[in-house]
Amino acid sequence: MHGRFLAEAMLDTTTTLDDVLFPPIETYDSGTLQVTDLHTIAWEKSGNPEGAPVVVIHGGPGGGGQPAYRQYFDPSKFNIIQFDQRGCGKSTPHAELRDNTTQAMVADIEALRVSFGIETWHVFGGSWGSTLSLIYAQTYPDRVISLVLRGIFMCRKSELHWFYQDGASHIFPDAFEPYREHIPKAEQANLIKAYYARLTSDDGDVRRAAAKQWTRWEMATSRLFPDPSYLEKAEDLDFAVAFARIECHYFINAIFVEEAHILNHASIIAHIPTVIVQGRYDVVCPARSAWELHKVLPNSSLVMVADAGHSMGEVSIARELVKATNAL
């Protein structure tokens, strides 16, 4: 029950991401799965086809998979399965909000498992990927061998208010200003609602302008040491539109579950070995959620990383994630 706390007093500024991750690899297979009349999901496999299966659940929602995820697993030991959740990445239709709910995404994960003939698998997810991993595990507890989770997000009202309205704004007032000022004063009291109206506008220019500001805010705050190149993600308007529209749609709908759903149903997954890796200075998904989750999961360990924010691309977060997958 008691987690590990990393107490390194000194910042490690010489180790790079390449030093802690496995080398980049190509996929050995990829394809699509039509999950409804409307939605088709893109998937890929890498690593060892005979290895232990692990499914990677990406963030956002709407963030899409990334080749870099493959590097968090020993490719000789794992069969690494990634997919793009409804409406994002290479899944189609792009940025589609209809028939796009948490329950639908859980069903897609299960449909992928069945289509691959996999009995049980490890589940790996950060941020919204932790949210969806947990709800998937609570829906299909017998299919999940273990959970490796990062930057815990349970999408409660307090978490949304903190990041999108008033909280993180106290730490990043400079990055917050353009996000807030994109919205007229009269609507600033509820920024998620104001962004939702613009992100679902009939006018493509209005949608894209809102998506860019929304995405910049999240990219600017993801790391303890902001990385200017990370902000470029918001300039990729195809990425930004899917990311912002799908996130905002999920948040307006409280991710289609009751408040504190994950904590309320923790007993269902209490038996699953779980590692939680959390950056102490994560302002996107503050550490309180990781702490509260850890306390209701008796088989969890919490690694509180002393020198990191939210991103899986931060060296000390990546190091702990690799340690966790190596120990599976």
Under rule CB under 6 A, residue 153 binds ligand STX: yes
The least CB distance from residue 130 to ligand STX, in Å, is 8
218 binds ligand STX per the rule CB under 6 A? yes
The binder of ligand STX chosen from 53, 60, 279, 286 (CB under 6 A): 60
* Alpha helices (H) along the chain: 17-20, 102-116, 128-139, 157-164, 173-181, 191-199, 204-220, 228-231, 237-252, 261-264, 288-296, 315-326
Least distance in Å: CB of 310 to ligand STX?
A: 7
Q: In whole angstroms, give the CA distance from residue 144 to residue 142.
A: 6
Judged by beta carbon, residue 284 or residue 321, the one nearer ligand STX is 284
Show the site string, 70-99: x = touches ligand STX by CB under 6 A, - = not: ------------------------------
Q: Across the chain, which distance is largest between two alpha carbons, in Å? A: 58
Pairwise CA distance, residues 148 & 125, whole Å = 7
Which of 73, 162 has the CB closer to ligand STX?
162
Distance CA 219, CA 264 (A): 30
Which residue of 22, 73, 124, 128 would you call a contact of ligand STX, by CB under 6 A?
A: 128
Do the Cβ atoms of 97 and 250 come closer than 8 Å? no
Q: Encoding tokens for residue 295? A: 């306390």
Residue 142 annotated among the catalytic residues of the structure: no
284 touches ligand STX by CB under 6 A: yes
CB of 151 to ligand STX, least distance (A): 7
Which of 282, 289, 300, 311 is labelled catalytic? 282
Q: Distances from the Cα of 198 to the Cαs of 125, 154, 212, in angstroms?
A: 29, 25, 11
Note whether 263 and 289 are within 8 A (CB).
no
Please tell me whether residue 150 binds ligand STX under the rule CB under 6 A: no
Task: Select the span of 56-64, 110-118, 266-274, 293-301 touching ligand STX (CB under 6 A).
Answer: 56-64
Binding test (CB under 6 A) with ligand STX, winner from 22, 56, 57, 59: 59
Number of residues in contact with ligand STX, rule: CB under 6 A? 10
Tokens standing for 127?
């941020």
Distance CA 177, CA 170 (A): 11
Residue 113 or 216: the one with the smaller Cβ distance to ligand STX is 216
> Is residue 195 near ligand STX by the rule CB under 6 A?
no
267 is catalytic: no
Measured over the CA atoms of residue 249, residue 254, residue 308 and residue 134, the dihedral's sign is negative
282 as an active site residue: the answer is: yes
Smallest distance, ligand STX to C-beta of residue 300, A:
20
d(CA 54, CA 161): 33
End-to-end CA distance of the chain: 18
Determine phi and psi for 58, rounding to 5 degrees.
-80, 175
Q: Using an 8 Å Cβ cutoff, are 244 and 214 in contact?
A: yes
Per-residue binder mask for ligand STX (CB under 6 A), 235-274, x = binder: ----------------------------------------
**Which part of the chain contacts ligand STX (CB under 6 A), choosing from 52-60, 76-84, 263-271, 289-297?**
52-60
Minimum distance from CB of 133 to ligand STX (Å)?
11
Active site residue: 222, 310, 311, 316, which one?
A: 310
**Residue numbers annotated as active site:** 127, 282, 310
Instruction: Give the interface with ligand STX as residue ranges (CB under 6 A).
Output: 58-60, 63, 127-128, 153, 218, 222, 284
